[in-house]
Each structure stands twice: as structure tokens, then as C-alpha cells.
Amino acid sequence: MGRRAPIDAPPRVARFDPFAGAPRLNSARRVGIRPGTELIHPLAATGARPLRFHVDGLPEGIAVDEEGTLRGRAPAAAGTHLLEVTATNELGEASATVELVVGEQLCLTPPLGWNSWNLYGPDVGAELIVRTAEAMVATGLRDLGYQYVNIDDHWHAERRAPDGSPLANARTFPDGIAPVAARVHELGLKLGIYSDAAHLTCGNCYGGYGYERTDAATYAAWGVDLLKYDYCYAPASAAEAEARYGAMGRALRETDRSIVLSVCEWGFRSPWRWAPAIGGSTWRTTPDIYDTFSWSPFGVRHIAWRTLRQADHAGPGRWNDPDMLLVGNHGRGRSSGVLRTPNQLRAPLRGRRLWRFRGLTDHQAHSHVTLWAMLAAPLLASHDLGASSELDLALLANPEVLAVDQDPLGASARRLPAPRGWWHLVKPLRDGGFALSATNLRRGERTSTLRLADVVAAGHSVTPTSGRWTVRDAWAMHDLGELDQLDVELPGHGSALLVCHPA
Ligand code: GLA
């Protein structure tokens, strides 16, 4: 029996200040863009301000602005451009190579951002979206690589315009979507929108089925950068889903923007098998996440377990999406929080609400982010960014944990053999190292031994070496030294995340 962790012992995570210290470049090291389309890409540097940016190797038509955002139009020809990026401040300099890959594949690393659904449900509007984008800048999250501000369901007017084009709700988006997109772009960020591959969305607004080309062209004209395409009210068959998502994928590719297609049919029709071919960059692996760590189908642990089973399907431009992060919601979410019963289960219960989702504990939230980073998952916060607590920000804004998620190799973690009640996961990294995580799935404090030789023995594309490794605690942001094994002592539902390189 393990001892119970003292409930006031917080997760051991560094408090990283994005506005202090020498520069550090956090931008994704590989960026995909379609030929001839608009590029808005923040180089995502943290450190004391002011920061100055210099980029060598920029193709014609693209420049870096004072804030460190690459702006312009991608070359018309497919190909890879190596950008040598330098950020400087009074304390030092940081350099990195960013590959700009002009071609049809987007999201060469998993998208980082925010989505309105979990906390706000149907209460979206222009003011919320602009406020969130501004908070993404003010909190430093943009400078850590977060980019997408995604409007979920309920942005719609009651019906389409007489010519069939989509219209936003005139009360909540008084000037439409275009000025919201313009403000988001001005901040160096990207705007996402939501629709559904049927006549209605899950929230009973009008859907996109039969209007794919009109909708895609209008989204492009508005300046939209991502479309989450849902599957309520659509036929069950996988072939039909593939056809409907395919129609939207084609329509998006016919526009002159790089618009990411995020497939949301909850993993029921093995989207990992067909979504990449129809232009989907991410696909949900499960039904909606709720603000609970439980093993129930909508809990963090169950969703992580289901997503781990699809590890082989993840890679650059093609990501398993285990749904939004719950960090910072603390059970308050309108769509995933207090006294909420998942829609999918409500009907047979005749409207009764049986589950009480009070939110994650600090250690559960810490494990949630650890697991999502190991899974190379899209990291979409879903809380009120402006009201983030110090711990919420420490969990979302750790540059070393984000670098594990964003590693350009794009491998998802896989499970290693581990004692009962533990997950030991390994995620190979492009530089020949690997990330290793341990999650204590039980309530009490326990210790587990991680033997680095086991990682090599299990294969998983990790290169065997002499057997000694330099090990770094990514959450604490400090070196643990040269080791061949280590004991991790974790509170109930806690996690550790280590980054290892051959010594
Ligand atoms: C579905 C999706 C959610 C959200 C809602 C909106 O349930 O899975 O993520 O988009 O619809 O109605």
C-alpha cells in the first residue's frame, strides 16, 4: 500500500516566465504551408523584451515583422526553405533552423491553441474571441508556440444568406467573422471555425453538407485558418463519412488559403485510416472529453488509453486528437463541467443528469498535459485564458514539455511494459533522444523504477548506445545527471516527464 500524498503538495513544475531571461525560440521547427497562400507564423520567442529578430533564407514574398511574425505569401512552387532564425535581447541570443515546407501538408507539428467549447459552450461571440487572442499574447502563450484561436459551435445566424453563403449571428458577431480574423491575424495568431458534415451541427445550427464549396470559399474570404468539421446528424457509414469529409477537404484545397481540416467524428469510423488522404490534419479519437480523470469513456485516463492504441497512425501532418485540455476549468465548464451528463448519454436517461464533473485535481491536470504531450496531441486549452492561475500557466507554458509535443519527428508515445497501476510511455525524438513518462494511475503515492535499458530493449526506434543517458526532468527544467535507471516517486494520479539523450 502506498502512502497518501499530502494534498497540499503541488506538482513539481517550473514556473517559466516567458518575458524574462535570455531569448529562447519555441516555434515549431517544421511549418507546412500550401503554395501561394498567406503565411502568418509567429517565431514564438520568449525572453526579456525588447527582442530583435533576424531570419536568413526567407523566400521572396515573406518578411519578418518587429514582433517576430513571418508574414507574406508562400512561394508558388513546392519545396523546403531552411530559415536560419536568430532572436536577440540584452541578455543574449538564440538561434534555430525552421523548415518552411511548401506543399499540400499542413500541421507538420500538432496544432497549439484554444477552443471555446468546453468552458463557454454556446456563448461565443466576437468579444470573447478577441479577448482570448489578446490573452494568448499577454500570458506569453503565443511566444511559446500557441497559435490557433478556435470558435466552436453556435457562431451562426439562424439561417444562411439568401444566396446560400454562411452568415454569422448578428448579435454575437455584429460585424461578422472577417474583422475578428483580421484582429487575430494582427496579433500573429490564427482563427479557427466550426461546422458539421450534415444539414445541422451538433448544436442545431446549419451544417455544411451540400454547401462545401460556398462555405470553404467564404471561410477563406473571411480569413479563417482552421475548420473543425463535426459529424452530428450524418449517416453512420464510414464510406459516407469519408465522402463527406472528402468533399470538404477538396473544397478547402480549392481556396487560396491554407485552411487546416480537423476531423471530428469521435473515432467511431477509424478516421486514422482515411482522414490523411482526404486532407484531414487531425482527427478526434474519442467522444467528447469531460472534466474528469476517470476511466469512463469521457474521462482523461480512458481517452489517453484509447488514443495510445492509435499511436502508429500519428506523424507530421496527421495527428490523433484526444480532444481539448481541461486545465483551468476546474469543473466550471458549461460543456464539460459541473453536473453535466454527456449529450450522447442524456437521451436514454430522459434528461436526468447523473454525473458530477467537478474537475481535475492539480496532479490530474499535470498528468493530463503530460499524456497529451507524449501523445503528440493537438494542445487546445479551453478555459478563460485571462483568468489562468499560476499553476494553469505553469502546466500550459513549459517550453520543454511543449518541445516534446512539438518534436519534428512527430512520433506518438507508446507503452512500455510497466508494473500494474503504472503507465510508462516512450516517445522517440528527432535528435536521437527520447521522452519517457511515468504516470501513477492509482490514488496513493507510489514509486516506480524506470530502467533506460528497457526502453532500448522494447525497440520503439530508440538507438541503442553504451547504456548511459543524460536525463533531464522536463517539468522541473533541470538536469538529473547521467543515469541508467531512476526511481520516480509520484503522488496519486501524478506524472513525471523525462527527456533522455545518449551520454
Ligand atoms: C460535438 C463535438 C464537440 C463540440 C460540440 C459542439 O459534441 O465533439 O467537440 O464541437 O459538438 O456542439
- Ligand 1 atom nearest to CA at 201: 12
Find the catalytic residue in 143, 152, 230, 362. Answer: 230
Residues 288/428, Cβ–Cβ less than 8 Å: no
Task: Note the pTM of the prediction, 2 decimals.
Answer: 0.96
Give the Å distance between the CA of 267 and the centre of ligand 1. Answer: 13
Nearest atom of ligand 1 to the alpha carbon of 266: 8
Q: How far apart are CA 179 and CA 200, in angstroms?
A: 25
Enter the C-alpha cell of residue 122.
Answer: 454556446
Residue nearest to ligand 1 atom 4, measured at CA? 117
Which of 63, 65, 73 has its CA nearest to residue 102? 73
d(CA 297, CA 295): 6
Cα separation, 492 vs 148, in Å, equals 33
Q: Which of 114, 115, 116, 117 to mutate to test the pocket of ligand 1 (most atoms within 8 A of CB)?
A: 117
Please state, for a pLDDT cut of 70, what percent of the chain lies above it. 92
Closest CA to 496 of 398, 359, 417: 398
User: At 212, phi and psi to the nearest 5?
Assistant: -55, -45
C-alpha cell at 491: 503522488
Average pLDDT over residues 367-380: 98
Atom 8 of ligand 1, residue of closest alpha carbon: 288
Give the length of the chain.
503
Residue 130 CA to residue 141 CA, distance in Å, equals 15
Which of 288, 323, 324 has most ligand 1 atoms within 8 Å of its beta carbon, as the pocket-test mutant? 288
d(CA 428, CA 374): 10
Query: Residues near 315 by Cβ (< 8 Å), separated by ≥ 6?
Result: 410, 411
Whose grid coordinates read 501538408?
Answer: 105
Given a cut of 90, is residue 416 above it in pLDDT? yes
**Catalytic site residue from 143, 152, 288, 392:** 288
Q: Which amino acid residue places its CA nearest to atom 6 of ligand 1?
A: 153
Cell of 466: 553504451
Is 90 exceeded by the pLDDT of residue 382?
yes
- Closest atom, ligand 1, to C-alpha of 324: 9
Q: Given this model, what pLDDT does residue 5 score?
A: 37
Average pLDDT estimate for 385-399:
97
Distance, CA of 368 to CA of 149 (rounded, Å) = 21
Residue nearest to atom 1 of ligand 1 (CA): 202
Question: So what's the pLDDT on residue 350?
Answer: 64
- Give CA 362 to chain center in angstroms: 20
Beta pairing class for 62-64 and 69-73: antiparallel
CA of 343 to the centre of ligand 1 (A): 10
Least Cα distance to 257 among 407, 429, 416, 34 occurs for 34
- The rounded distance, in Å, linking the Cα atoms of 109 and 125 is 29
Task: List, for residues 164-189, the tens digit of each pLDDT value.
Answer: 999 999 999 999 999 999 999 999 99
Tens-place pLDDT, residues 269-326? 999 999 999 999 999 999 999 999 999 889 999 999 999 999 999 999 999 999 999 9
Mean pLDDT value of segment 97-110: 98
Cα–Cα distances in angstroms (integers) from residue 213 to residues 136, 165, 251, 282, in the given order: 32, 10, 5, 21
